[in-house]
Amino acid sequence: MNVSGDASLEPGALYVVATPIGNLGDLSPRAQAVLGAVSRIAAEDTRTTSALLAHFGIRTPPGGLVALHDHNETRIAEGLIRELADGATLAVVSDAGTPLISDPGYALVRAARAAGRAVYTVPGPCAAIAALSVSGLPTDRFVFAGFLPAKSGARRAAFELIKAEPRTAIYYESTHRIEDSLNDLVAVLGPERRVCLARELTKRFEQSITLPAAELCVWQREDPNRGRGEFVLIVEGAPEVANDGADPEAERVLRLLLAELPASRAARLAAEITGAAKKPLYQLALKIAGDGAGDRDDAESA
Ligand code: SAM
């Protein structure tokens, strides 16, 4: 594959092609060239992809579009891998953004790699990264956690998991749950944690705002339009505690365990899991607990 908008494709290769998340101007010249040159396109929804291709005047051979979604992916992938082995070229796209990121494509890429096929990226829009890049929240370390669960109990449990997580956390959320999700977030992470709500990115009513969680809830309720569209929710990481030189992996494990266990048991387990020394981990656990993360009775000594 060369670096221009021309596609000189490698026979037998799979191309993972990102498509716009709202603004059609974001389909790269190289993506257009690849989509116009491959023998087949595996698409999450063939109607959506047909409309995209038609907009750009991209023609596909008859039968060139094949549906690939969560329910048929493993089965369809087998046939597509056989076609690659015969020298075909294949692109995979989803309805919007980067395939595989909370979208179909994983089974196909995995199968292609297992079969020794080359897999190339044609990168482009991804709502998670687009939102992170405008959020004003730390971008040096982050976790992408996909869609928030639909039910409040499971959602609160998901937020519990990041109570002590120092990295920025990114979630996808659907229209009709955003208000409930923000309420659950405040209930678990408290009113002060800074959160970015990024909505309708690259579209006409694009909006992104970063506020302490409780203020964001108020802002969101002020205007019904702020509950419409597609959302990315970005949560600032938990404040760092001076860790007296503890190994970062040991600290991460300790913080996870502290969400469930008293300081002494969390420190002992974290030491066993990571091989780090127990005593400094216990001191660190007490510090973190002092900040409210492990506020339970801990009479036992390390
Ligand atoms: N693969 C896609 C990507 O790379 O971003 C994500 C697909 S996932 C099924 C769809 C979710 O992504 C939406 O529910 C929303 O949370 C987020 N999303 C997609 N487009 C968006 C946009 N324009 N603005 C904000 N969020 C968006």
CATH number of the domain encompassing residue 109: 3.40.1010.10
**Last residue in a domain, options 125, 145, 179:** 125
Same domain, yes or no, for 149 and 166? yes
Distance 172 CA to ligand 1 centre (A): 7
**Last residue in a domain, options 125, 143, 169:** 125
Rounded CA-CA distance 79/66 in Å is: 11
Return the best residue to mutate from 175, 177, 231, 233 for the ligand 1 pocket (most ligand atoms within 8 A of CB): 231
Beta pairing, strands 142-147 & 168-173: parallel
Rounded CA-CA distance 42/71 in Å is: 14
What CATH number has the domain bearing residue 134? 3.30.950.10
Instruction: Report yes or no on 2 lying in a domain.
Output: no
Same domain, yes or no, for 19 and 66? yes
**Last residue in a domain, options 125, 156, 176:** 125
Distance 146 CA to ligand 1 centre (A): 10
Same domain, yes or no, for 113 and 154? no
Q: What is the pLDDT along the chain (302 residues), one digit of tens a residue?
A: 444 566 689 999 999 999 999 999 999 999 999 999 999 999 999 999 999 999 999 999 888 999 999 889 999 999 999 999 999 999 999 999 999 999 999 999 999 999 999 999 999 999 999 999 999 999 999 999 999 999 999 999 999 999 989 999 999 998 889 999 999 999 999 999 999 999 999 999 999 999 999 999 999 999 999 989 999 999 999 987 766 667 788 888 998 999 889 999 999 999 999 888 888 899 899 988 776 543 343 433 33
Same domain, yes or no, for 34 and 68? yes
Instruction: Report yes or no on 8 lying in a domain.
Output: no
Same domain, yes or no, for 30 and 83? yes
Ligand 1 atom at minimal distance to the Cα of residue 100: 1
Distance 58 CA to ligand 1 centre (A): 24
Return the best residue to mutate from 98, 121, 175, 230 for the ligand 1 pocket (most ligand atoms within 8 A of CB): 230
SS3 assignment, position 120? strand
Same domain, yes or no, for 150 and 205? yes
Distance 204 CA to ligand 1 centre (A): 15
Beta pairing, strands 168-173 & 231-235: antiparallel
Instruction: Report yes or no on 6 lying in a domain.
Output: no
Domain that holds residue 133: 128-235
Instruction: Report yes or no on 7 lying in a domain.
Output: no
Q: How many domains does the structure of the chain reveal?
A: 3
Same domain, yes or no, for 46 and 58? yes
State the amino acid at position 182 in one-letter form: L
Instruction: Report yes or no on 240 lying in a domain.
Output: no
Residues with CB under 6 A from ligand 1: 21-22, 94, 96-98, 101-103, 126-128, 172-174, 198-203, 230-232
Distance 302 CA to ligand 1 centre (A): 46
What's the whole-model pTM score? 0.83
Instruction: Report yes or no on 63 lying in a domain.
Output: yes
Distance 298 CA to ligand 1 centre (A): 43
Which residue do the tokens 């502290």 mark? 258
